[in-house]
Structure 1
Amino acid sequence: MRYLIIEGARQNNLRNISLRLPHNSIIAVTGLSGSGKSSLAFDTIFAEGQWRFIESLSTYARLFLEKLDRPDVDSIRNIRPAIALEQKNPVKGARSTVGTLTEIYDLFRLLYARIARPYCPECGKEIRRWSVDEIITELLGHYNNERVMITFETSAPPEELLKKGFSRIWNGDEIVELGVKGSDSDVQKPAIRDSQTVTGKLAVVVDRAVIKDSPRLTDSLELAYR
Protein backbone atom coordinates (compact mmCIF):
# COMPACT_ATOMS: atom_id res chain seq x y z
CA MET A 1 0.00 0.00 0.00
CA ARG A 2 3.03 2.29 -0.02
CA TYR A 3 2.92 2.72 -3.79
CA LEU A 4 0.41 3.60 -6.47
CA ILE A 5 1.03 0.95 -9.12
CA ILE A 6 0.07 1.61 -12.74
CA GLU A 7 0.44 -1.08 -15.39
CA GLY A 8 -0.11 -0.73 -19.13
CA ALA A 9 -1.42 2.85 -19.33
CA ARG A 10 -2.51 3.68 -22.89
CA GLN A 11 -4.75 6.70 -22.36
CA ASN A 12 -4.49 9.23 -25.21
CA ASN A 13 -0.82 9.43 -26.24
CA LEU A 14 0.56 7.20 -23.47
CA ARG A 15 2.32 4.14 -24.88
CA ASN A 16 1.69 1.22 -22.55
CA ILE A 17 3.66 2.66 -19.64
CA SER A 18 3.97 1.11 -16.19
CA LEU A 19 5.27 2.80 -13.05
CA ARG A 20 5.22 2.86 -9.24
CA LEU A 21 4.55 6.16 -7.45
CA PRO A 22 5.13 6.45 -3.68
CA HIS A 23 2.21 7.68 -1.58
CA ASN A 24 2.57 10.69 0.76
CA SER A 25 5.13 12.31 -1.53
CA ILE A 26 5.28 15.39 -3.72
CA ILE A 27 5.78 14.23 -7.31
CA ALA A 28 6.36 16.52 -10.30
CA VAL A 29 5.40 15.26 -13.77
CA THR A 30 7.52 17.06 -16.36
CA GLY A 31 8.22 16.71 -20.05
CA LEU A 32 7.80 18.24 -23.48
CA SER A 33 4.45 19.39 -24.75
CA GLY A 34 2.48 16.37 -25.93
CA SER A 35 4.58 13.87 -23.99
CA GLY A 36 1.61 12.69 -21.95
CA LYS A 37 1.86 14.64 -18.68
CA SER A 38 -1.83 15.56 -18.56
CA SER A 39 -2.84 12.14 -19.90
CA LEU A 40 -1.07 10.50 -16.98
CA ALA A 41 -1.98 12.92 -14.19
CA PHE A 42 -5.53 13.93 -15.15
CA ASP A 43 -6.91 11.42 -17.64
CA THR A 44 -5.47 8.32 -15.96
CA ILE A 45 -4.71 8.76 -12.25
CA PHE A 46 -7.34 11.39 -11.44
CA ALA A 47 -10.01 9.81 -13.64
CA GLU A 48 -9.56 6.38 -12.03
CA GLY A 49 -9.43 7.82 -8.52
CA GLN A 50 -12.61 9.80 -9.06
CA TRP A 51 -14.37 6.88 -10.73
CA ARG A 52 -13.66 4.53 -7.82
CA PHE A 53 -14.69 7.13 -5.26
CA ILE A 54 -18.03 7.76 -6.97
CA GLU A 55 -18.62 4.01 -7.27
CA SER A 56 -18.40 3.77 -3.47
CA LEU A 57 -21.30 6.21 -3.02
CA SER A 58 -24.98 5.44 -3.00
CA THR A 59 -26.97 5.37 -6.22
CA TYR A 60 -28.80 8.55 -5.22
CA ALA A 61 -25.55 10.44 -4.55
CA ARG A 62 -24.15 9.44 -7.93
CA LEU A 63 -26.98 11.34 -9.66
CA PHE A 64 -25.43 14.65 -8.61
CA LEU A 65 -21.85 13.86 -9.59
CA GLU A 66 -20.24 13.85 -13.01
CA LYS A 67 -18.29 10.65 -13.51
CA LEU A 68 -15.35 10.51 -15.91
CA ASP A 69 -14.81 7.63 -18.28
CA ARG A 70 -12.45 4.97 -17.01
CA PRO A 71 -8.94 5.33 -18.44
CA ASP A 72 -7.39 2.89 -20.91
CA VAL A 73 -5.09 0.99 -18.55
CA ASP A 74 -4.49 -2.65 -17.67
CA SER A 75 -4.59 -2.08 -13.90
CA ILE A 76 -4.20 0.58 -11.23
CA ARG A 77 -3.64 -0.61 -7.67
CA ASN A 78 -3.65 1.17 -4.31
CA ILE A 79 -5.22 4.32 -5.73
CA ARG A 80 -6.76 6.83 -3.34
CA PRO A 81 -9.61 9.35 -3.85
CA ALA A 82 -8.19 12.10 -6.05
CA ILE A 83 -8.60 15.87 -6.29
CA ALA A 84 -7.47 17.76 -9.40
CA LEU A 85 -6.87 21.50 -9.78
CA GLU A 86 -7.04 22.88 -13.31
CA GLN A 87 -4.07 24.71 -14.75
CA LYS A 88 -6.29 27.72 -15.47
CA ASN A 89 -8.60 29.51 -13.09
CA PRO A 90 -12.06 30.06 -14.62
CA VAL A 91 -13.38 31.81 -11.51
CA LYS A 92 -13.13 35.59 -11.48
CA GLY A 93 -13.13 37.46 -8.21
CA ALA A 94 -11.12 38.51 -5.18
CA ARG A 95 -11.03 34.98 -3.72
CA SER A 96 -10.53 32.94 -6.86
CA THR A 97 -7.06 31.44 -6.36
CA VAL A 98 -5.89 28.34 -4.56
CA GLY A 99 -4.08 30.53 -2.05
CA THR A 100 -7.14 32.55 -1.09
CA LEU A 101 -9.52 29.59 -1.14
CA THR A 102 -7.28 27.60 1.21
CA GLU A 103 -6.59 30.71 3.32
CA ILE A 104 -2.81 30.38 3.01
CA TYR A 105 -2.38 33.53 0.88
CA ASP A 106 -1.91 35.87 3.87
CA LEU A 107 0.39 33.36 5.56
CA PHE A 108 2.60 33.19 2.46
CA ARG A 109 2.76 36.99 2.37
CA LEU A 110 4.11 36.98 5.91
CA LEU A 111 6.50 34.15 5.07
CA TYR A 112 7.99 35.88 2.03
CA ALA A 113 8.21 39.19 3.90
CA ARG A 114 10.31 37.44 6.54
CA ILE A 115 12.57 35.19 4.45
CA ALA A 116 12.72 36.91 1.04
CA ARG A 117 15.84 38.81 -0.01
CA PRO A 118 14.82 41.47 -2.58
CA TYR A 119 17.42 42.99 -4.89
CA CYS A 120 17.46 46.32 -6.72
CA PRO A 121 16.77 45.81 -10.47
CA GLU A 122 19.03 48.78 -11.29
CA CYS A 123 22.25 48.05 -9.37
CA GLY A 124 21.69 44.44 -8.32
CA LYS A 125 22.37 45.13 -4.64
CA GLU A 126 20.28 43.61 -1.87
CA ILE A 127 17.49 45.81 -0.52
CA ARG A 128 17.46 45.77 3.25
CA ARG A 129 16.94 47.98 6.25
CA TRP A 130 20.07 49.82 7.36
CA SER A 131 20.72 51.18 10.82
CA VAL A 132 22.41 54.56 11.24
CA ASP A 133 25.60 52.87 12.46
CA GLU A 134 25.67 50.56 9.42
CA ILE A 135 25.23 53.53 7.07
CA ILE A 136 28.06 55.44 8.72
CA THR A 137 30.36 52.40 8.48
CA GLU A 138 29.51 51.97 4.79
CA LEU A 139 30.05 55.66 4.01
CA LEU A 140 33.35 55.85 5.87
CA GLY A 141 34.57 52.70 4.16
CA HIS A 142 33.77 53.74 0.59
CA TYR A 143 33.20 57.51 0.49
CA ASN A 144 35.47 58.94 3.18
CA ASN A 145 36.12 62.70 2.82
CA GLU A 146 33.67 62.97 -0.10
CA ARG A 147 30.89 65.54 -0.11
CA VAL A 148 27.37 64.13 -0.06
CA MET A 149 23.78 65.27 0.21
CA ILE A 150 21.53 63.60 2.78
CA THR A 151 17.83 63.53 1.86
CA PHE A 152 14.63 61.65 2.68
CA GLU A 153 11.40 61.12 0.75
CA THR A 154 8.05 62.32 2.04
CA SER A 155 4.53 63.03 0.82
CA ALA A 156 4.02 65.84 3.34
CA PRO A 157 2.93 69.22 1.87
CA PRO A 158 5.53 72.01 1.67
CA GLU A 159 3.72 74.04 4.35
CA GLU A 160 4.17 71.21 6.86
CA LEU A 161 7.84 70.78 5.96
CA LEU A 162 8.48 74.47 6.55
CA LYS A 163 6.85 74.28 9.97
CA LYS A 164 9.26 71.47 10.86
CA GLY A 165 12.27 73.49 9.75
CA PHE A 166 12.92 71.91 6.33
CA SER A 167 13.26 74.54 3.61
CA ARG A 168 15.00 72.77 0.71
CA ILE A 169 14.17 69.88 -1.61
CA TRP A 170 16.13 68.11 -4.34
CA ASN A 171 14.35 67.93 -7.69
CA GLY A 172 16.92 65.72 -9.41
CA ASP A 173 19.00 68.52 -10.91
CA GLU A 174 19.27 71.20 -8.25
CA ILE A 175 18.23 72.23 -4.78
CA VAL A 176 14.94 74.13 -4.72
CA GLU A 177 14.03 76.47 -1.88
CA LEU A 178 10.63 76.12 -0.29
CA GLY A 179 8.88 79.39 0.44
CA VAL A 180 5.64 80.78 1.75
CA LYS A 181 4.05 83.56 -0.22
CA GLY A 182 4.42 86.90 1.50
CA SER A 183 7.24 85.77 3.80
CA ASP A 184 10.84 86.90 3.94
CA SER A 185 11.88 83.76 2.05
CA ASP A 186 10.48 85.27 -1.16
CA VAL A 187 13.81 87.01 -1.71
CA GLN A 188 15.41 83.56 -2.08
CA LYS A 189 13.48 82.87 -5.28
CA PRO A 190 11.29 80.06 -3.89
CA ALA A 191 10.05 77.62 -6.52
CA ILE A 192 7.40 75.83 -4.47
CA ARG A 193 4.95 77.73 -2.27
CA ASP A 194 2.09 75.37 -1.41
CA SER A 195 0.80 71.81 -1.77
CA GLN A 196 -1.05 72.63 -5.01
CA THR A 197 2.25 73.27 -6.76
CA VAL A 198 3.66 69.77 -6.30
CA THR A 199 2.40 66.19 -6.59
CA GLY A 200 4.01 62.94 -5.48
CA LYS A 201 6.90 62.55 -3.07
CA LEU A 202 9.50 65.18 -2.27
CA ALA A 203 13.19 64.56 -1.64
CA VAL A 204 13.81 66.79 1.37
CA VAL A 205 17.39 67.98 1.86
CA VAL A 206 18.57 67.40 5.43
CA ASP A 207 22.23 68.31 5.09
CA ARG A 208 25.18 68.68 2.75
CA ALA A 209 28.28 67.41 4.46
CA VAL A 210 31.71 65.83 4.03
CA ILE A 211 31.86 62.16 4.97
CA LYS A 212 33.92 61.85 8.13
CA ASP A 213 33.51 60.39 11.58
CA SER A 214 31.72 63.30 13.25
CA PRO A 215 28.58 63.93 15.33
CA ARG A 216 27.16 66.04 12.50
CA LEU A 217 26.94 63.08 10.13
CA THR A 218 25.26 60.95 12.80
CA ASP A 219 22.77 63.69 13.69
CA SER A 220 21.86 64.29 10.03
CA LEU A 221 21.25 60.60 9.34
CA GLU A 222 19.15 60.21 12.48
CA LEU A 223 17.09 63.25 11.46
CA ALA A 224 16.53 61.77 7.99
CA TYR A 225 15.34 58.51 9.57
CA ARG A 226 12.65 60.28 11.57
Structure 2
Amino acid sequence: MRALLLRDLRLAVRSGGGFGLSLAFFLIVTVLIPFGVGPEPGVLARIAPGALWIGALLAVLLSLDRIFALDREDGTLDLLATAPIPLEAVAATKALAHWLTTGLPLALVAPGLGVLLNLAPAATGWLIGSLLLGTPALSVIGAFGAALTVGLKRGGLLMSLLVLPLYVPTLIFGALAVGRGGAGADAATPLMMLAGVSLGTVAVLPFATAAALRINLR
Protein backbone atom coordinates (compact mmCIF):
# COMPACT_ATOMS: atom_id res chain seq x y z
CA MET A 1 0.00 0.00 0.00
CA ARG A 2 2.88 2.34 0.69
CA ALA A 3 4.25 1.79 -2.82
CA LEU A 4 0.82 2.54 -4.32
CA LEU A 5 0.51 5.72 -2.27
CA LEU A 6 3.98 6.94 -3.26
CA ARG A 7 3.26 6.12 -6.91
CA ASP A 8 0.04 8.16 -6.91
CA LEU A 9 1.75 11.06 -5.17
CA ARG A 10 4.55 11.11 -7.75
CA LEU A 11 2.09 10.96 -10.64
CA ALA A 12 -0.01 13.77 -9.21
CA VAL A 13 2.97 16.05 -8.64
CA ARG A 14 4.55 15.35 -12.02
CA SER A 15 1.38 15.77 -14.06
CA GLY A 16 0.09 18.72 -12.05
CA GLY A 17 -3.46 17.45 -12.49
CA GLY A 18 -4.17 17.21 -8.80
CA PHE A 19 -1.71 19.58 -7.16
CA GLY A 20 -1.20 22.56 -9.43
CA LEU A 21 -4.54 22.65 -11.23
CA SER A 22 -6.63 22.62 -8.06
CA LEU A 23 -4.57 25.37 -6.44
CA ALA A 24 -4.76 27.51 -9.57
CA PHE A 25 -8.52 27.04 -9.77
CA PHE A 26 -8.93 27.94 -6.09
CA LEU A 27 -6.89 31.10 -6.65
CA ILE A 28 -8.90 32.12 -9.71
CA VAL A 29 -12.24 31.63 -7.94
CA THR A 30 -11.08 33.66 -4.96
CA VAL A 31 -9.78 36.49 -7.14
CA LEU A 32 -12.96 36.65 -9.23
CA ILE A 33 -15.39 36.89 -6.30
CA PRO A 34 -14.56 40.55 -5.42
CA PHE A 35 -15.16 41.49 -9.07
CA GLY A 36 -18.61 39.89 -8.92
CA VAL A 37 -19.88 41.12 -5.55
CA GLY A 38 -17.96 44.39 -5.28
CA PRO A 39 -14.95 45.51 -3.23
CA GLU A 40 -16.86 46.50 -0.07
CA PRO A 41 -14.90 45.03 2.88
CA GLY A 42 -18.05 44.34 4.91
CA VAL A 43 -19.67 42.34 2.13
CA LEU A 44 -16.52 40.36 1.43
CA ALA A 45 -15.99 39.58 5.12
CA ARG A 46 -19.56 38.32 5.41
CA ILE A 47 -19.37 35.96 2.43
CA ALA A 48 -15.72 34.93 2.88
CA PRO A 49 -16.32 31.68 4.87
CA GLY A 50 -18.85 30.30 2.42
CA ALA A 51 -16.96 31.55 -0.64
CA LEU A 52 -13.68 29.97 0.45
CA TRP A 53 -15.38 26.68 1.21
CA ILE A 54 -17.18 26.66 -2.13
CA GLY A 55 -13.91 27.43 -3.92
CA ALA A 56 -12.15 24.59 -2.11
CA LEU A 57 -15.01 22.21 -2.86
CA LEU A 58 -14.98 23.01 -6.56
CA ALA A 59 -11.19 22.75 -6.67
CA VAL A 60 -11.40 19.26 -5.17
CA LEU A 61 -14.12 18.34 -7.65
CA LEU A 62 -11.91 19.38 -10.55
CA SER A 63 -9.43 16.53 -10.08
CA LEU A 64 -11.72 13.68 -9.04
CA ASP A 65 -11.92 12.03 -12.45
CA ARG A 66 -8.17 11.33 -12.32
CA ILE A 67 -8.42 9.07 -9.25
CA PHE A 68 -9.22 5.91 -11.22
CA ALA A 69 -9.50 6.96 -14.87
CA LEU A 70 -5.79 6.87 -15.69
CA ASP A 71 -5.34 3.50 -14.01
CA ARG A 72 -8.31 2.19 -15.96
CA GLU A 73 -6.84 3.36 -19.26
CA ASP A 74 -3.40 1.78 -18.81
CA GLY A 75 -4.65 -1.45 -17.22
CA THR A 76 -3.26 -0.77 -13.75
CA LEU A 77 -6.72 -0.94 -12.21
CA ASP A 78 -7.22 -4.49 -13.52
CA LEU A 79 -3.92 -5.52 -11.95
CA LEU A 80 -4.88 -3.93 -8.65
CA ALA A 81 -8.21 -5.76 -8.69
CA THR A 82 -6.40 -9.11 -8.96
CA ALA A 83 -3.62 -8.24 -6.52
CA PRO A 84 -3.53 -9.90 -3.08
CA ILE A 85 -4.29 -6.59 -1.34
CA PRO A 86 -8.01 -5.87 -0.71
CA LEU A 87 -9.67 -3.55 -3.19
CA GLU A 88 -11.07 -1.61 -0.22
CA ALA A 89 -7.51 -0.79 0.81
CA VAL A 90 -6.73 0.32 -2.73
CA ALA A 91 -9.74 2.64 -2.69
CA ALA A 92 -8.73 4.11 0.67
CA THR A 93 -5.15 4.63 -0.52
CA LYS A 94 -6.33 6.36 -3.69
CA ALA A 95 -8.52 8.69 -1.63
CA LEU A 96 -5.62 9.42 0.74
CA ALA A 97 -3.32 10.26 -2.17
CA HIS A 98 -5.96 12.59 -3.59
CA TRP A 99 -6.32 14.34 -0.25
CA LEU A 100 -2.57 14.74 0.22
CA THR A 101 -2.18 16.34 -3.23
CA THR A 102 -5.40 18.35 -3.25
CA GLY A 103 -7.20 18.78 0.08
CA LEU A 104 -4.13 19.36 2.25
CA PRO A 105 -2.54 22.01 -0.05
CA LEU A 106 -5.90 23.79 -0.30
CA ALA A 107 -6.15 23.93 3.49
CA LEU A 108 -2.65 25.37 3.75
CA VAL A 109 -3.09 28.12 1.13
CA ALA A 110 -6.65 29.07 2.11
CA PRO A 111 -5.63 31.61 4.81
CA GLY A 112 -3.56 33.55 2.29
CA LEU A 113 -6.47 33.66 -0.13
CA GLY A 114 -8.77 34.63 2.72
CA VAL A 115 -6.93 37.95 2.89
CA LEU A 116 -8.28 38.74 -0.59
CA LEU A 117 -11.82 38.31 0.77
CA ASN A 118 -11.18 40.31 3.95
CA LEU A 119 -11.60 37.22 6.11
CA ALA A 120 -11.59 38.10 9.80
CA PRO A 121 -8.20 37.32 11.39
CA ALA A 122 -9.97 35.41 14.15
CA ALA A 123 -11.43 33.07 11.54
CA THR A 124 -8.08 32.03 10.04
CA GLY A 125 -7.42 29.20 12.45
CA TRP A 126 -11.00 27.98 12.14
CA LEU A 127 -10.67 28.00 8.36
CA ILE A 128 -7.55 25.82 8.45
CA GLY A 129 -9.07 23.49 11.01
CA SER A 130 -12.35 23.10 9.17
CA LEU A 131 -10.62 22.39 5.86
CA LEU A 132 -8.30 19.85 7.47
CA LEU A 133 -11.31 18.11 9.01
CA GLY A 134 -13.65 18.40 6.04
CA THR A 135 -11.56 17.84 2.92
CA PRO A 136 -10.92 14.14 3.72
CA ALA A 137 -14.65 13.60 3.33
CA LEU A 138 -14.56 15.38 -0.03
CA SER A 139 -11.79 13.10 -1.28
CA VAL A 140 -13.42 9.89 -0.03
CA ILE A 141 -16.83 10.82 -1.44
CA GLY A 142 -15.13 11.85 -4.67
CA ALA A 143 -13.35 8.50 -4.91
CA PHE A 144 -16.74 6.81 -4.59
CA GLY A 145 -18.15 8.96 -7.39
CA ALA A 146 -15.09 8.31 -9.55
CA ALA A 147 -15.51 4.56 -9.02
CA LEU A 148 -19.15 4.72 -10.11
CA THR A 149 -18.26 6.43 -13.40
CA VAL A 150 -14.84 4.90 -14.12
CA GLY A 151 -16.21 2.73 -16.93
CA LEU A 152 -18.01 5.58 -18.68
CA LYS A 153 -16.58 7.80 -21.38
CA ARG A 154 -16.75 11.47 -20.41
CA GLY A 155 -18.31 10.56 -17.08
CA GLY A 156 -17.02 13.69 -15.38
CA LEU A 157 -20.34 15.54 -15.56
CA LEU A 158 -22.28 12.57 -14.23
CA MET A 159 -19.77 12.17 -11.43
CA SER A 160 -20.20 15.83 -10.47
CA LEU A 161 -23.97 15.42 -10.34
CA LEU A 162 -23.57 12.36 -8.13
CA VAL A 163 -21.12 13.74 -5.58
CA LEU A 164 -22.25 17.37 -5.26
CA PRO A 165 -25.38 16.53 -3.21
CA LEU A 166 -23.20 14.40 -0.92
CA TYR A 167 -20.87 17.37 -0.41
CA VAL A 168 -23.62 19.59 1.02
CA PRO A 169 -23.31 18.58 4.71
CA THR A 170 -19.56 19.11 4.66
CA LEU A 171 -20.00 22.50 3.01
CA ILE A 172 -22.64 23.62 5.51
CA PHE A 173 -20.73 22.62 8.63
CA GLY A 174 -17.40 23.87 7.28
CA ALA A 175 -18.68 27.35 6.37
CA LEU A 176 -20.65 27.53 9.63
CA ALA A 177 -17.58 26.73 11.71
CA VAL A 178 -15.52 29.43 10.02
CA GLY A 179 -18.31 32.00 10.26
CA ARG A 180 -18.94 31.33 13.93
CA GLY A 181 -15.25 31.26 14.77
CA GLY A 182 -14.68 34.58 13.04
CA ALA A 183 -17.59 36.16 14.92
CA GLY A 184 -16.31 34.95 18.27
CA ALA A 185 -19.18 32.50 18.76
CA ASP A 186 -18.97 28.82 19.68
CA ALA A 187 -17.75 26.85 16.64
CA ALA A 188 -17.11 23.54 18.40
CA THR A 189 -20.45 22.00 17.41
CA PRO A 190 -20.11 22.45 13.62
CA LEU A 191 -16.48 21.30 13.83
CA MET A 192 -17.54 18.12 15.64
CA MET A 193 -20.26 17.53 13.06
CA LEU A 194 -17.69 18.07 10.32
CA ALA A 195 -15.33 15.58 11.93
CA GLY A 196 -18.21 13.13 12.28
CA VAL A 197 -19.03 13.37 8.59
CA SER A 198 -15.40 12.76 7.65
CA LEU A 199 -15.01 9.83 10.02
CA GLY A 200 -18.26 8.27 8.79
CA THR A 201 -17.29 8.54 5.13
CA VAL A 202 -13.78 7.21 5.76
CA ALA A 203 -15.21 4.23 7.63
CA VAL A 204 -17.95 3.30 5.15
CA LEU A 205 -17.28 4.58 1.64
CA PRO A 206 -14.07 2.62 0.83
CA PHE A 207 -16.23 -0.53 0.92
CA ALA A 208 -18.82 1.07 -1.38
CA THR A 209 -16.03 2.30 -3.66
CA ALA A 210 -14.53 -1.19 -3.89
CA ALA A 211 -17.97 -2.65 -4.71
CA ALA A 212 -18.47 -0.09 -7.48
CA LEU A 213 -15.04 -0.89 -8.93
CA ARG A 214 -15.76 -4.62 -8.95
CA ILE A 215 -19.00 -4.00 -10.85
CA ASN A 216 -17.32 -1.76 -13.43
CA LEU A 217 -14.42 -4.16 -13.92
CA ARG A 218 -16.59 -7.14 -14.77
TM-score (norm 1): 0.19
Structure with the greater relative contact order (CA < 8 A, sep ≥ 6): 1 or 2?
2
Larger strand share, 1 or 2: 1
TM-score (norm 2): 0.20
- Please say which structure displays the higher CA radius of gyration: 1
Larger helix share, 1 or 2: 2
